[in-house]
Amino acid sequence: MDKPQPDDLKDAGLKSTVPRLNILALFKSGQERHMSAEDVYKQLLAKGDDVGLATVYRVLTQFEQAGLLVRHYFEGGKSVFELNQGKHHDHIVCLQCGHVEEFYDADIESRQEKVATERGFAVHNHSLHIYADCNKKACPHKH
């Protein structure tokens, strides 16, 4: 659909290179929305793109700093990235199948802000992860 162009990277202050375009293309392909460095690496190799793991890690961090991607620290140790689409949201993670569902609740957001400012804190960011089971019978969410 919308294949990334060199300018997508240049506009973000990054030189246009083959690995960067491939990584951005993978996220824009929409196959999987939330991916770890390892996920990205394997998907690229599977697709025939030749890339180094170190480059994947570097580029993901650069993309995060450039605001192209958002990083999440779910339970399990490895960080997970997703395309930054401007709209903040939180996550429900299925403990059975790993499916991730997104949500936004304005009340929760404003109450968080209230709680923090009441205590004299200036909020930078927050993470709200709900860990749950989605299974009625067998996990309906394909993974």
Partner DNA sequence: GCGTAGATGATAATAGTTCTCATTTGCAAC
Partner DNA sequence: GTTGCAAATGAGAACTATTATCATCTACGC
Phi-psi region of 81 (alpha: psi -120 to 50; beta: other; left: phi over 0): beta
Lateral strand order in the sheet of 69-72: 35-36, 80-83, 69-72
- Going residue by residue from 27 to 66, which x/- string records binding to a copy of itself, judged by CB under 8 A? ----------------------------------------
Amino acid found at 73:
Y
Among residues 12, 53, 83, 116, the one that binds a copy of itself under rule CB under 8 A: 116
119 binds a copy of itself (CB under 8 A): yes
Residues 80-99 that bind DNA (CB under 7 A): none
Amino acid found at 49:
D
108 binds a copy of itself (CB under 8 A): yes
Amino acid found at 133:
D
CB of residue 95 vs a copy of itself: minimum separation in angstroms? Answer: 6
Degrees to nearest 5, angle at CA 135 with 130 and 136: 130
User: Residue 67 binds what, of a copy of itself, DNA, Zn ion, none (CB under 5 to 8 Å, by partner type)?
Assistant: none
Is 100 in contact with 91 (CB distance < 8 Å)? yes
Residues 77-96 that bind a copy of itself (CB under 8 A): 77, 92, 94-95
Amino acid found at 82:
E
Question: Can you give the binding site for a copy of itself, defined by CB under 8 A?
Answer: 73, 75, 77, 92, 94-95, 101, 103, 105, 107-108, 111-112, 115-116, 119-134, 136
